[in-house]
Structure 1
Amino acid sequence: MKFYGKVAAMLALMALAGCQSADKKSLSSAAVDPEMDRCGASEYQQYVGKPLTAIESLRFDHAVRAIPYHSAVTMDFNLNRINFMGDKQGNISLVYCG
């Protein structure tokens, strides 16, 4: 394929990629790998942006760790533990297993 053919193919692929659309609902309902979500962190994604203290009244089936901004934590990796990572303002910035 000549140079112009490669450029045309790349432009066509870029144009097709631009035609895709996704709304927030379809992004949040994306498939979750059950092996990487053993702790059920996907069920608590709605707490991102809320204060870290918002999880104090919740009951969990798995171990939980609330991690304030710049706090020391152990480096043990536990896929059955839910981690709530805090930011500078004390809000939850990330919910993940580990």
Structure 2
Amino acid sequence: MQPYGKIAVIAALVALSGCQAASKTGGTSATVDPESDRCGASEYQQYLGKPLSAIDGLRFEHPVRAIPHNSAVTMDFNLNRLNFMGDVQGNITRVYCG
């Protein structure tokens, strides 16, 4: 490969890597499928890591359940229900619809 060819390849790679980095910095929020987020779980992701008691004073538009670690829960699937899953220490590890 001639020196000009090598320079052209390197310039193309640099240009492509610049485009790739620009597309990743577009925003921090991920695209949410409205059908799978009927209960609005995406709005409560800031509660991850907080104690389950942090949601005690909140008002919700949909049915809600706080699920402590190793708790028995019904297996019925309700996309309109908001679930807060707790860990051994009582902190919220997952917020989801179902």
TM-score by length of 1: 0.74
Residue 93 in structure 1 maps to residue 93 in structure 2: yes
1:1-35, CA deviations, whole angstroms, 9 ceiling, x for partnerless residues?
A: xxxxxxxxxxx9xxx6xx64746x834x1110000
Q: Specify the code of the residue in structure 2 equivalent to 1:71.
A: S
Write the distance in 2 (CA, Å) between the matches of 1:67 and 1:79: 16
Residue 26 in structure 1 maps to residue 27 in structure 2: yes
TM-score by length of 2: 0.74
Name 1:79's counterpart in structure 2.
Answer: 79
Residue 59 in structure 1 maps to residue 64 in structure 2: no
Larger Rg: 2
State the secondary structure of the residue aligned to 2:95: strand
1:21-66, CA deviations, whole angstroms, 9 ceiling, x for partnerless residues?
A: 746x834x11100000000000000000000000000000000010
**Aligned residues: CA RMSD:** 2.0
Structure 2, gaps ≥5 residues long: 1-12
Name 2:47's counterpart in structure 1.
Answer: 47
Q: Specify the code of the residue in structure 1 equivalent to 2:27.
A: S
Identity over the aligned pairs, expressed in percent?
70
